[in-house]
Amino acid sequence: MAQDGTDLTPEPDGEDHVRGSLDAAVVITEYGDFECPYCGESNGVIEEILRRYGDRVAFVFRQYPLPMHPHAMAAAEASEAAATAGKFWEMYDALYRHQRALTERDLRGYAEAAGVDPQLVSTAIAENAYQSRIDRDRQSGNASGIEGTPSIFINGFAYEDEVSVDALSDTIDRALAART
């Protein structure tokens, strides 16, 4: 916790998945779960925010698969396998487009469509190949005080309003105004 009682999340680093530049005026960090329906809803909001704000905003995604979602860990492993082939965001987009179809067979198909060897996904799932990477994100989230997904931070501070384009835009506009 920060001195003012506001939860903070660690600064993004070279291991994070980032859309945009970390030099952007506003950095949105989300802890998410590919099987979480609320994360699926927030994904559309984030896409609109990125379109609306362009290079003034960057988006960081951190893994936080919840144990109640039976395919969340496999989806996280698949996305990390795709990341090793430089295709994290292609897999991320496919996983959120197809949240209700996350079996290993589905994940292999999304990988193949993204130009990733489907065997990488099968191996990642079978061997929990990216468990330490996923645990790093989860531990970061736990240390930041998150209790569920999606958990969003704006410039490191917990965002606790509704996840809508209008509400998030208001917060981003205030953050941008504070920088000038």
What is the reported pLDDT for 5? 47
What percent helix, strand, coil does the chain show, rounded to 5?
A: 50, 15, 35
- Domain-located, residue 7: no
Count of domains forming the chain: 1
CATH value at residue 82 = 3.40.30.10
pLDDT tens-place string over residues 132-163? 999 999 999 999 999 899 999 999 999 999 99
What is the reported pLDDT for 137? 97
Phi and psi angles of residue 76, each rounded to the nearest 5 degrees, phi first: -65, -45
- Domain-located, residue 4: no
Domain encompassing residue 45: 17-178
Eight-state DSSP code of residue 8: B
2, pLDDT greater than 70: no
CB contact burial 52-89 (16+ within 10 A = b; e otherwise): ebeebbbbbbbbbbeeebebbbbbbbbbbbbbeeebbb
- Domain-located, residue 6: no
pLDDT tens-place string over residues 20-78? 999 999 999 999 999 999 999 999 999 999 999 999 999 999 999 999 999 999 999 99
Q: At what angle are helices 104-113 and 118-127 packed, to 10 degrees?
A: 140
Cα atoms found within 13 Å of the Cα of residue 156, Cβ hemisphere only: 10
